[in-house]
Structure 1
Amino acid sequence: MVGYRQVLGLCALSLAAQALQRSSLPISELKKQIRGANQLSARDVNLQALYPEYNLSTPIDHFHNDSLYEPHSNDKFNLRYWFDAQYYKPGGPVIVLAGGETDGADRLPFLQKGIVYQLAKATNGVGVILEHRYYGSSIPTKDLSTESLRFLTTDQALADTAYFANNVKFAGLENVDFNPKKTPWIAYGGSYAGAFVALLRKLYPDQYWGAISSSGVPEAIWDYYKYFEAAAVYGPPACVENTRKITDIIDKILIGKKGSKYVGQLKSVFGLPNVTHDGDFASAINGGIYGLQSLNWDPTQSSNGFFDYCDTVSSDKLKYPKTESLRKSVNELITVAGYGSELNTLSNHVLNYVGYYAPNAASCTNQDQDECFSTYDTSFYSQDSISQSWRLWPYQYCTQWGFLQTGSGVPKGQLPLISRTIDLEYSSVICRDAFNLTGPANVNAINKYGGFGLSYPRLAFVDGQWDPWRAAGVHAIGLPERVSTTEQPYVLIDKAVHHWDENGLFPNETTAELPPAPVASTQKKEALFVRQWVQEFKNKNSHNTVNEPAEL
């Protein structure tokens, strides 16, 4: 039995395996992102002891000719990184994992046994985790006010990453020339960082010889209602159908009967009578369908919440006997919403849906329900000290990336999987109240580099077939398929979700089933084409003829 708050907890548990978060988090969840609110796990402590952290003094402002960054700054900040050179041999590459929108320390497992470890070992290279400006300890300003956050743009962070390649000296390897003219630099990123490294390869080809974009989202989209497309297409059909019908019943009450007694009756059925805003109420009872992103092939990083939810809402039998007392009220709501002819089948489905989310109300103790579930709190949003790290990714999506996951964006005539009360107005509350941004994000700042059509030599795109973020990338359903070559790999991992190729296991953890064959095959392909890219660099520098790209 996994409710909204439990789903969010599982998402946080597997943060290293999952990046882009859902929009419209309640204030109670944003508070958990305040710096210092979370204690380091034993794993984090051990990894940080294993991999010492380093810093490179980096310009705060790379673009003194761009008025966007006025007033300009001549100061520098410490850009944090970690590296592992245990497999390095002369001529080997530097493999850089872009940290993305989280503390860079969260990415250390990929240096220990994930994709960075695998590629560094396969190529005799140096593995690096590079933190994104403003995240973790790579903070360039004294606070996180909207004015200070003007330097938090993807372009500035990309310039950091190029500056790093041009200037870093690895401890113990100071005598090695790692200048990009002498050493191939290969970037890897997953999710937002996947789009990031794709842009990096295009904008800084002289610094980064190649890049792998895993679950990359190069098409910035303000209204990202297609987040739920993967669940609709690949989820269990009965689960999808029942979720759509139940969501429609909820909307027929919240929207169609707004102001009537039935709205209060609906909220009371779910034990949430005191949630003021309809969007907050709807958001508190939709976490199950979000669970698809939390699936991972690695059991230690995965949540089965999506299928638990689907089993619950698809069952024709009553799974929560305590909800029987609500049947009369639920049946009335079903009938008022226009589904009276399906009462015999829908009644238990709705009651199971209610029972599934019952822990939400039960979890809200010692607070009123708005304190637990509301996204509205102007005094909270006004906080901008350096500890308020919840401001960072919302600032990025409010200004440049979008990805607001709405129900209202679903075309008329189609039933959404989340309520239409979750619209752009509701989902952008944080943009207005935290940053005084009243319009949509400037997605053209990202999409001008190619969006869905982005391609470049030695730029690989790897995606999961079931990934909710696939619809913002080059493997989006409906886009023309590309031919996969060594020069431009194009790989869709069967039945995979969010950057599944990034995870890895120790040799003694590997079994016949883990990693699953599609993931293992993809990781072998990645090692193969990166080795070929490195050889191509060596051939170029020695003036040898480069072979034509072969199909993968």
Structure 2
Amino acid sequence: MKLAAPPLPSLWIAFLISMLLVSSNAAFSPRILQQSTSNSKNYLTNEALWFNQTLDHFSPYDRRQFGQRYYEFLDHFRTPDGPIFLKICGESACNGIPNDYISVLANKFGAAVVSLEHRYYGKSSPFKSLTTENLKYLSSKQALFDLAVFRQYYQESLNSKLNRSNVENPWFVFGVSYSGALSAWFRLKFPHLTCGSLASSAVVLAVYNFTEFDKQIGESAGPECKAVLQEITHLVDQRLASNDKELKAMFGAAEV
């Protein structure tokens, strides 16, 4: 797979977007944004498109593929040299491109908006059965290469529609939470494929024993629910110590 670089002048898009997001300009105030989204439909588009994605990007022998769902919105696109905004979907079904702040930015910059559903979620699962063996291809590393392959596929598809070749539009990637981490990692892993990224609330620091998360769950759940959760956790720990195979079998995790 040949991964070509976008033109260097496209870096101004990243700068302008970052400036606009922190600007006090009324056009980007929360009140105006809320009005623009609440008075219109929830999605810019929910018309699904498909392409064949590689199952294992790290095997030179495995040539299996699966159908991966994506969406495109071209109403604001400035043909032919407008930027392309890639909205990364995270750990849930991706049912379309939401009508949110990215729509405002796309209108401002004349951008096309595309969004790729994460492997194993929604309708983009490589397997019908999610056994432990089948789940081994579910990882953030595979997902990053999914994005890179899709980026190249869509750019080539756009070039074909515009009857041109070897032309690169500037790409900018967006993500929130886990997909925000993917956005940041994508920029680091493939700096030649994007002029910038917006990683909103990105979980870029992996914590192995993240006890603070459990504490927050307990506070949010309230004392009664917290006590029940603690009791269940204690019972599971006891059963794991006495008969871990039986317990794992109850959750379909006997092979783990």
TM-score (ref. length: structure 2) = 0.66
Deviation at 1:64, TM superposition (A): 1.5
Tell me: CA distance 1:112–1:279, structure 2 relative to 1, closer, same or farther (3 Å): closer
Matched with 1:203 is 189
Post-superposition Cα deviations, 1:145-169, rounded to whole Å, max 9, x if no partner, equal 1111111111111101000111126
Matched with 2:109 is 123
1:272 and 1:188 map into 2 onto residues whose CA distance is 35
In the alignment, is the contact (CA less than 8 A) between 1:55 and 1:79 conserved in 2? Answer: yes
Partner of residue 101 from structure 1, selected from 78, 87, 91: 91
1:276 and 1:135 map into 2 onto residues whose CA distance is 27
Post-superposition Cα deviations, 1:136-188, rounded to whole Å, max 9, x if no partner, equal 11112342111111111111111010001111266898226696x62111110
In the alignment, is the contact (CA less than 8 A) between 1:96 and 1:187 conserved in 2? Answer: yes
Partner of residue 53 from structure 1, selected from 36, 45, 48: 48
1:182 and 1:172 map into 2 onto residues whose CA distance is 8
Aligned residue identity for 2:54: P
In the alignment, is the contact (CA less than 8 A) between 2:42 and 2:99 conserved in 1? Answer: no
**Residue 73 in 1 paired to residue 88 in 2?**
no
In the alignment, is the contact (CA less than 8 A) between 2:84 and 2:172 conserved in 1? Answer: yes
SS in 1 for 2:59: coil
Tell me: CA distance 1:191–1:434, structure 2 relative to 1, closer, same or farther (3 Å): farther
In the alignment, is the contact (CA less than 8 A) between 1:85 and 1:125 conserved in 2? Answer: yes
1:271 and 1:128 map into 2 onto residues whose CA distance is 41
Counterpart mapping for 1:319-358 below 5 A: none
Deviation at 1:88, TM superposition (A): 0.5
Matched with 1:220 is 206
SS in 2 for 1:222: coil
Deviation at 1:280, TM superposition (A): 4.5
1:271 and 1:213 map into 2 onto residues whose CA distance is 33
Tell me: CA distance 1:97–1:64, structure 2 relative to 1, closer, same or farther (3 Å): same
Tell me: CA distance 1:435–1:133, structure 2 relative to 1, closer, same or farther (3 Å): farther
Deviation at 1:222, TM superposition (A): 1.5
**Residue 175 in 1 paired to residue 162 in 2?**
yes
**Residue 83 in 1 paired to residue 72 in 2?**
yes
Aligned residue identity for 2:180: G
Deviation at 1:113, TM superposition (A): 2.2
Post-superposition Cα deviations, 1:344-395, rounded to whole Å, max 9, x if no partner, equal xxxxxxxxxxxxxxxxxxxxxxxxxxxxxxxx9644521xxxxxxxxxxxxx
In the alignment, is the contact (CA less than 8 A) between 2:120 and 2:126 conserved in 1? Answer: yes
SS in 2 for 1:155: helix
Tell me: CA distance 1:76–1:124, structure 2 relative to 1, closer, same or farther (3 Å): same
Higher Cα radius of gyration: 1
In the alignment, is the contact (CA less than 8 A) between 2:180 and 2:198 conserved in 1? Answer: yes
Percent identity over the alignment?
A: 26
SS in 2 for 1:150: helix
Aligned residue identity for 2:251: Y
2:229 and 2:110 map into 1 onto residues whose CA distance is 58
Counterpart mapping for 1:22-37 below 5 A: none
2:165 and 2:103 map into 1 onto residues whose CA distance is 19
**Residue 381 in 1 paired to residue 244 in 2?**
no
Partner of residue 278 from structure 1, selected from 204, 209, 231: 231
In the alignment, is the contact (CA less than 8 A) between 2:159 and 2:165 conserved in 1? Answer: no
Aligned residue identity for 2:203: V
1:49 and 1:211 map into 2 onto residues whose CA distance is 21
1:54 and 1:379 map into 2 onto residues whose CA distance is 38
Deviation at 1:201, TM superposition (A): 0.6
Counterpart mapping for 1:87-486 below 5 A: 87-90=76-79, 91-105=81-95, 108=96, 111-168=97-154, 174-175=161-162, 182-227=168-213, 278-280=231-233, 378-382=248-252, 433=253, 436=256
Post-superposition Cα deviations, 1:495-550, rounded to whole Å, max 9, x if no partner, equal xxxxxxxxxxxxxxxxxxxxxxxxxxxxxxxxxxxxxxxxxxxxxxxxxxxxxxxx
2:165 and 2:189 map into 1 onto residues whose CA distance is 20
In the alignment, is the contact (CA less than 8 A) between 1:186 and 1:209 conserved in 2? Answer: yes
1:104 and 1:56 map into 2 onto residues whose CA distance is 15
In the alignment, is the contact (CA less than 8 A) between 1:98 and 1:197 conserved in 2? Answer: yes
Tell me: CA distance 1:215–1:434, structure 2 relative to 1, closer, same or farther (3 Å): farther
2:120 and 2:152 map into 1 onto residues whose CA distance is 21
In the alignment, is the contact (CA less than 8 A) between 2:90 and 2:178 conserved in 1? Answer: yes
Post-superposition Cα deviations, 1:105-137, rounded to whole Å, max 9, x if no partner, equal 1xx3xx342132122112101111210111111
Higher strand share: 2
The runs of 5 or more residues in structure 1 that have no matched partner are 1-45, 66-71, 232-239, 248-269, 283-375, 383-432, 437-552
Tell me: CA distance 1:225–1:178, structure 2 relative to 1, closer, same or farther (3 Å): farther
Aligned residue identity for 1:54: L
